[in-house]
Amino acid sequence: MRENKMWIGGEWVGADSGKTFAVFNPSTEEEIGQVPLGGVSDVDKAVEAARKAFPIWSRKPQAERSKLVSQIAEEMRKNSKELARLDTLEHGTPIDVANMLTMWSAEMIEYAAEAARTLMGDVISAFPNTMSYYRREPVGVCGLIAPWNVPLMMMAAKLGPALAAGNACVVKPPSINSLIGLKFAEIISKVDLPPGVVNLITGPGGSVGNALSSHPHVDMIAFTGSTETGKAIIEASSRSVKRLMLELGGKNPAIVLEDADLDHAATILAEKQCLNSGMTCGSPGRIYVHENVHNEFLENFVAAMEKITVGDPNDPETAIGPVVSAEHRDKIEHYIKSGVEEGATLVLGGNRPTTAPMDKGFYVMPTVFTDVTQNMTIAREEIFGPVACVMKFSSENEVLDLANDNIYGLCASVWTKDIGKGIKYGNELRVGSFWVNQHNHITTALPWGGIKESGIGKEGGVEGLKEFTTLKLMCFEMPQ
């Protein structure tokens, strides 16, 4: 694989800086590769290549575009084992999960290719003797900035619909996961796309990401990541009033009512809390449990968390591997320390593992706090790790106020045998996605995105495809 080259204008090129940076294995802390240190001048070249390619690509018939985009999915499946290997190597994703994410990523691109064939405008009856309708058109040059928690899936979730809708793209993979980004570019290079339709640049968000966000010839930014970075992108993009699709943070409430199936709720919420080592924006960051069933639920939940296997991500028996970096491990441990200092009760985890192979690498064990109150740091901020906060409530009005009392509004769930009550809760919770007796349960066809400081717009499904289009009003006066 071309580890020291970026994909710009249909060619493999080095960074103008002539420099590279290291990528590390979070399981062993060993360096595993060097990738180009891209910068502002590289972004300029990629954007210019995309601008030249855009009219060629956007004017192709939809059937031809969809066919070529589907070929990317086919090439991903052919290279699925290598993609999964890289995800495990540089991210610590357990190998079985990495295989699943790779196939899901290919499915996302294939779905976008097929769904694009269904996009239609709307006829509007506005004036007599006049035909008026909306026409859907591609936005233009799209900067796609992916996060490090599920890098391949997030690149695919953006690139598939952007390409299928007729846009040209500049992709910035996360620095920590640059190897899988370069492999993705290698796969795309095997498809007969016009040069410059897809460009991929490696480098830090502070330079490459900011250059994309502020570039006057980039028409749209699609970003997944922290709310803090999302705000910086909004500020940078305001200089040229770009279209934005931002999928940001979450501190998601899961509400366990008195009549819930407690064992089922505990099992699913433990799995979702530890999915991807807790580095999932949709994880249940706040678990509110009715006081009458709190102790029983907590016992079941701790037992479910204890069953989750932490270990070598190359072992098929492993459920969660390390977190992505030493920096992120330290951040999670800071939150655990703050929980103890602010008076929460630590009932599971909280310490680094010391037995091999986890005596090396950036591991965080499944951790559970109880006696958590609403104003504690761990109850208000996104931890992004396998750390659960279990909280008591006594009444419906109280828990709705508590659940809505947060800057985020990504998703929520309610656990109850009364579906009517579940629907009522769903109507009151200020979030972008909601489940009854499930949590963070998504598929390719379902749109995903939050409100408040959890983001702007939707990703996935037909609604996510529409984000990469604009609506043009067309009016024709009919001859008399």
Q: Report the interhelical angle of 62-78 vs 178-189 (nearest 10°).
A: 130
Which distant-in-sequence residues (6+ apart) come within 8 Å of 220 by Cβ? 139, 140, 141, 142, 143, 167, 242, 243, 244, 245, 468
Query: Which amino acid, 254?
Result: A
281 is catalytic: yes
- DSSP bridge partners of 320: 310
Rounded distance between C-alpha atoms, residue 470 and residue 456, angstroms: 16
Q: Which residues are within 8 A (CB) of 142 and not within 5 positions of it... i.e. 6 or more apart?
A: 158, 162, 167, 168, 169, 170, 218, 219, 220, 221, 222, 468
Distance of alpha carbon 140 from alpha carbon 159, whole angstroms? 13
Provide the greatest CA pair distance for the chain.
Answer: 85
Task: Tell me the angle at which helices 95-115 and 62-78 cross, rounded to the nearest 10 degrees.
Answer: 170
Peptide bond into 479 cis (omega under 30): no
Pairing mode of beta strands 387-393, 130-138: unpaired
Tokens standing for 5? 């080259």
Annotated active-site residue 142? The verdict is no
- The catalytic position among 247, 382, 453, 459 is 247
Q: 207: which DSSP letter?
A: I
Q: Per residue in 412-447, is it b (16+ CB within 10 Å) or e — as a string?
A: bbbbbeeeeebeebbebbbbbbbbbbebbeeebeeb
Task: Answer whether the bond into residue 216 is a cis peptide, omega within 30°.
Answer: no
Q: Which two tokens stand for residue 190?
A: 């095997």
Contacts of 255 (CB under 8 A, 6+ apart): 288, 393, 399, 403, 412, 413, 414, 415, 425
Distance of CA 423 to the CA centre of its chain: 26
Which of 142, 169, 274, 281 is labelled catalytic?
A: 281
CB 383 within 8 A of CB 149: no
Instruction: Write out the catalytic residue numbers.
Output: 247, 281
